[in-house]
Amino acid sequence: MDLYWEDFFKDYEWLIVFLKGMVKPAAALVVVLLAVVLSYSQNLSLEGEMIYSVFRSFLQLSVIGFVLQFIFNQENAGWIVLAYLFMVSVAGYTAGQRAKHVPRGKYVAGVSILAGTSITMFLLVVLNVFPFTPRYMIPIAGMMVGNAMTVTGVTMKQLRDDIKMQLNLVETALALGATPRQATLQQVKRALVISLSPVLDSCKTVGLISLPGAMTGMIMGGASPLEAIQLQIVVMNMMVGAATVSSITSTYLCWPSFFTKAYQLQTHVFSSN
């Protein structure tokens, strides 16, 4: 019997370690319980949404933890590409949902995010900032893709909404011989400024108002603050680069959906709210 239990614990040692590690996350559910109680007391009707969101995040993070553990043990570049493309696909779908009135929005968002993040990662690898290994590239790709997803979704939605609000101005410019780019230049600039402002504001205040996730994780993991800030500087730089390329790319890809070949506005694109 003792031998049986020894074999059992040996075979499922990873599960036992995982369950032990989940003690603190489980204790942190007290904070969620507080939020649920407050929601109920204020008649916000968000209790179910809160519980569902926390359960979903727990499930998703648990699954991705085991997946990453498997990928890290493989040390195979193919897994990096596969994981990266999966993240881009999900991000493109999510950003396209935000800009649901933009024709082929999910495709535009996906290609834009792919362009911005792949170029940035390529430069980081070529400059030997990060080695091309799963342990480095997958977390870095996740941060860039998530940031580019938000910026791209906002850019596409804002551009379409601004053109809709100023249809007469854009049509007048087209009637006077302007190209689609010239006719919507101000709307494009406004969309890019609005979408990129949070990223730039984050760069301006990093370390003064909050300590970002990458930096906090390193410090809590035992790294020195000086090592942590070096990584965080790289992270902020790559996020600005990826977000800018992705957002600008999305504006170029949106134009064919907004205009006909005769340089006329596609009125049906702007007819819905």
Measured between alpha carbons, how far is 121 from 132 in angstroms, rounded to an integer?
9
Does pLDDT of 1 surpass 70? no
What is the pLDDT at residue 62?
83
Does pLDDT of 268 surpass 70? yes
- Secondary structure of residue 206 in the 3-state scheme: strand
CB 221 within 8 A of CB 181: no
Which pTM value belongs to this model? 0.83
241 band by pLDDT with thresholds 50, 70 and 90:
very high
What is the pLDDT at residue 69?
81
What is the pLDDT at residue 10?
57
The predicted-structure confidence for 138-188, as pLDDT tens digits, reads as follows 889 999 999 999 999 999 999 999 988 988 898 888 888 888 888 889 999
Share of the chain above pLDDT 70, in %: 93
Q: What is the DSSP string of 91-125?
A: HHHHHHHHTTTSTTHHHHHHHHHHHHHHHHHHHHH
Among residues 110, 99, 103, 91, which one has the least CA distance to residue 195?
Answer: 99
The predicted-structure confidence for 61-96, as pLDDT tens digits, reads as follows 888 888 888 888 877 788 889 999 999 999 999 999
Does pLDDT of 262 surpass 90? no
120 band by pLDDT with thresholds 50, 70 and 90:
very high
Measured between alpha carbons, how far is 256 from 41 in angstroms, rounded to an integer?
50
Does pLDDT of 209 surpass 80? no
**Displacement of CA 175 from its chain's centroid (Å):** 39
Q: What is the dihedral of CA 36, 41, 43, 48, to 10 degrees?
A: 20
Does pLDDT of 2 surpass 60? no
What is the pLDDT at residue 6?
56
